[in-house]
Amino acid sequence: MVSSSEPVAKEVNKRHLNVVFIGHVDAGKSSIAGQILYLSGQVDERTIQKCQKDAKANGRESWFMAYIMDVNEEERAKGITVEVAQADFETETTRFTILDAPGHKSYVPNMISGTSQADIGVLVISARKGEFESGFQGGGQTCEHIQLAKTLGISKLLVVVNKMDDKTVNWSKKRYDEIESEMVPFLKFSGYNVKKDIQFLPISGLRGTNMKTRMDKKVCPWWDGQCLFEALDVIDVPPRDLNGPFRMPIFDKYKDMGAVVMGEVESGSVHEGDNLLVMPNKVKVKVVAIFFNEEKVKDKVNSAGLGENLRIRIIGIEEEDIRPGFVLCSIEKPIPVVNEFVAQMKILGLVDNTLLAAGYNANLHIHSVLENCEIMELFTQKIDPKTGKPVDPMKKKVVFVKIGDVVMCRIKVTNMICIEKFSDFQQLGRFSLRSNDKTIAIGKVTDIHA
């Protein structure tokens, strides 16, 4: 990439990864993210002192690190993250964009939006007595977040067992092992290869222990593994197609000397001056400025590629004519636009233990799209368990399916949406269905010519 300023030109030689922090409410995600920014020098002592003062005024003195990420008054008053907060830091080899996702069940759509922009995930588990159990066993969000992360393309997870310094834990190896032993079977059930895809490590997000530097043996004599920064620095993610057609799902937009769209580059690259399409409304636009983060001179670049979270100023379209879920893409090979598609779907849970049949309505989440949808048809098809592909072209209609079933189906959405077949483009072909604040199914698009 060629930068318009010297500081950015130095930074972009490093690899870039988007890391989303997920997990049950109160697990400590925002505090960990704030601590990372402090330890990496992105936040100074003056900011920390102000956060401490503000937290004390709200009667939440121990939450001051979370205030670095949770900046709006609603979040501070409630003590929970609502929107996906974003920040940047870097290590010796990698530039990271932090995405701090909400953990409360009421804000799962926002969690999905943040996770869809990420390359890797940090699943935060609270070791405090009762908190792990309420998040994992008591209908909390730990399980749903794991399944959604897998569906949304998070192939690698760091599972950080937080609050190990709490008086109910006191760096107990027994408690750490108990949590790991309960988590492993569910991670396997959700599709993760625990040996290759998962890494556990203990930390204290509030104190910063085992985060930037390795654990002091005097604090925790039984741990001899990596610290969080080390684990993030060496984590490996599957390569993407550098030469693919440009694709950037839009998750937000605003007006500022033209329309500014925000999103992560999922394929190809973009250059200042490029002519592109906004889909599904097929409007030709021109790129007039590209920013890595906020619209500041130091963040302005001439081009950007895979995995970058960008703000792109475009002309040729009004801001009010753009919606989250639209896709900025190449003119030569635009993204397909459909209102029906065929999918393979796994049923995770149903509202009030009902059955799922044709005519079922739900909310569809696919990349940054959120649309109402209806299951138009259900049918079975023999699937090769080794390849995951159909081995028998014959389809047999079924009346209903239940929890645990894998089924083929035809889905219709209210408005035209931009999607890809999973076999062609995994990031834009995964989806989840939700109803009544509950994830009921996950799936992949198998055919866009329904």
Domain ranges of the chain: 6-234, 247-330, 337-447
Q: What does the block give as tokens for 66? A: 């979370």
Q: Would you say residue 135 has pLDDT above 80?
A: yes
Beta carbons of 328 and 276 less than 8 angstroms apart: yes
Pairing status of strand 303-304 against strand 361-366: unpaired
Instruction: Catalogue the E-assigned strands of 302-423.
Output: 303-304, 309-315, 327-330, 337-347, 356-357, 361-366, 369-380, 396-397, 400-401, 406-418
Q: Would you say residue 400 has pLDDT above 90?
A: no
Q: Would you say residue 394 has pLDDT above 60?
A: no
Identify the CATH number of the domain defined by range 6-234.
3.40.50.300
Residues near 73 by Cβ (< 8 Å), separated by ≥ 6? Answer: none
Which of 74-83, 361-370, 423-432 has the lowest average pLDDT? 74-83
Strand-by-strand arrangement of the 15-22 sheet: 85-90, 94-100, 15-22, 120-126, 157-162, 198-202
Q: What is the mean pLDDT of the chain?
A: 86
Q: Would you say residue 76 has pLDDT above 60?
A: no
Whether 247-330 shares its CATH topology with 337-447 is answered yes
CATH architecture of 247-330: Beta Barrel (2.40)
Please tell me the pTM assigned to this model: 0.80
| pLDDT at res. 332 | 95
pLDDT over 70, % of the chain: 85
**Is pLDDT larger for residue 369 or for residue 47?**
369
pLDDT digit string, tens, across residues 328-340: 999 999 999 999 9
pLDDT digit string, tens, across residues 261-271: 999 999 999 99
Q: How far apart are CA 216 and CA 298, in angstroms?
A: 38
* Residue whose tokens read 């940047």: 88
Q: What's phi and psi for 307, nearest 5 deg?
A: 85, -10
| pLDDT at res. 10 | 34
Q: How far apart are CA 433 and CA 409, in angstroms?
A: 13
Q: In the CATH hierarchy, which fold is given to the domain comprising 337-447? A: Elongation Factor Tu (Ef-tu); domain 3 (2.40.30)
Q: Would you say residue 4 has pLDDT above 90?
A: no
Among 352-361, 381-390, 430-439, top mean pLDDT goes to: 430-439
Q: How far apart are CA 76 and CA 50, in angstroms?
A: 14
Q: Would you say residue 202 has pLDDT above 70?
A: yes
